[in-house]
């Protein structure tokens, strides 16, 4: 008769224990040693585990997204419906319109592969002053900045690119000047002789 495990009815293979109970006992007795060996191996092979973990994370994320796609899409749709008016109001606000214009300038510059940088209107005015660089007259800071915003936009502040982005001009503080809305509109993407503006 074959020996039996002292903890169950299975056949004993290792010191009076079945394979399952033997390895449970072994792992519990040698846990700290195995943890230390694992840490050492990981420290010697960081790339292996980093890549494995990234693959696992990527696969798990992909599986989750595929299985929850319809839920996510419907939740996103509901969020958009709930916030639609708020988002529209934000986009129509002066701050939202200005952010959109700045984003448009940066995007056009990136697409053309020309330098671009973030700067505020305050930095623009501090650098170049409050006079329109095209006509030399003062800019009305209380006037609306766009035609759709009401009467008087013609004398409001707009960002004018000396070398237009359409002609590979940079969207940087060195290439942008304050200008009246109407002056900027008239100049469009033409190049001016700088002596004309002085």
| Residue 172 near residue 110 (C-beta atoms within 8 A) | no
Backbone phi, then psi, for 4, in 5-degree steps?
Answer: -105, 155
For the segment 134-148, what is each residue's pLDDT rounded down to a tens digit?
999 999 988 887 777
pTM score over 0.75? no
* In a shared domain, residues 157 and 111: yes
The model's confidence at residue 198, banded by pLDDT at 50, 70 and 90, is very low
User: What does the pLDDT average to over 154-176?
Assistant: 91
The CATH number of residue 157's host domain is: 1.10.30
Residues 114 and 167 in one domain: yes
The CA-based angle 193-120-173, given to 5 degrees, is 30
Encode pLDDT of 47-98 as tens digits. Answer: 776 666 677 777 888 888 888 888 877 887 887 777 888 888 888 887 787 7
- Is 154 a member of any domain? yes
For 68-113, where are the alpha helices, taking DSSP H only?
69-92, 94-112
**Looking at 48, 67, 86, which one is the last position of a domain?**
67
Check the CA dihedral 158-159-163-165 and report its sign.
negative
Q: What is the mean pLDDT of residues 164-193?
A: 89
Kindly state whether residues 101 and 192 are assigned to the same domain: yes
Give the Å distances, CA to CA, from 67 to 55, 60, 70.
18, 11, 8
Tell me which residue range forms the domain holding 148: 94-197
Residue at 148 is within a domain: yes
- Mean pLDDT (the chain, rounded): 83
Q: Do 115 and 170 fall within a single domain?
A: yes
Q: What's the pLDDT score for residue 3?
A: 75
- What pLDDT is attached to residue 174? 93
Q: Is residue 6 one of the residues assigned to a domain?
A: no
Residues 6+ apart with CB under 8 A from 186: 134
Q: What is the tally of structural domains in the chain? A: 2
């Amino acid at each position: 008769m074959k020996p039996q495990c002292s903890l169950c009815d299975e056949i004993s293979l290792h010191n009076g224990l079945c394979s399952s109970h033997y390895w449970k006992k072994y792992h519990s007795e040698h846990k700290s040693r195995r943890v230390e060996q694992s840490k050492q191996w990981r420290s010697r092979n960081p790339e292996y585990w980093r890549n494995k973990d990234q693959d696992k994370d990527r696969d798990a994320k992909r599986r989750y997204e595929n299985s929850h796609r319809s839920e996510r899409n419907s939740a996103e749709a509901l969020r958009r419906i709930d916030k639609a008016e708020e988002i529209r109001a934000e986009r129509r606000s002066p701050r939202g319109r200005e952010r959109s214009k700045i984003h448009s300038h940066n995007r056009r510059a990136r697409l053309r592969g020309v330098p671009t940088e973030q700067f505020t209107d305050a930095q623009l005015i501090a650098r170049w002053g409050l006079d329109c660089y095209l006509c030399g007259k003062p800019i009305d800071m209380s006037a609306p900045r766009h035609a759709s915003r009401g009467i008087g936009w013609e004398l409001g502040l707009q960002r004018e690119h000396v070398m237009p982005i359409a002609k590979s001009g940079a969207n940087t503080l060195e290439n942008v000047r304050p200008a009246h809305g109407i002056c900027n509109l008239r100049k469009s993407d033409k190049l001016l002789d700088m002596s004309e503006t002085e």
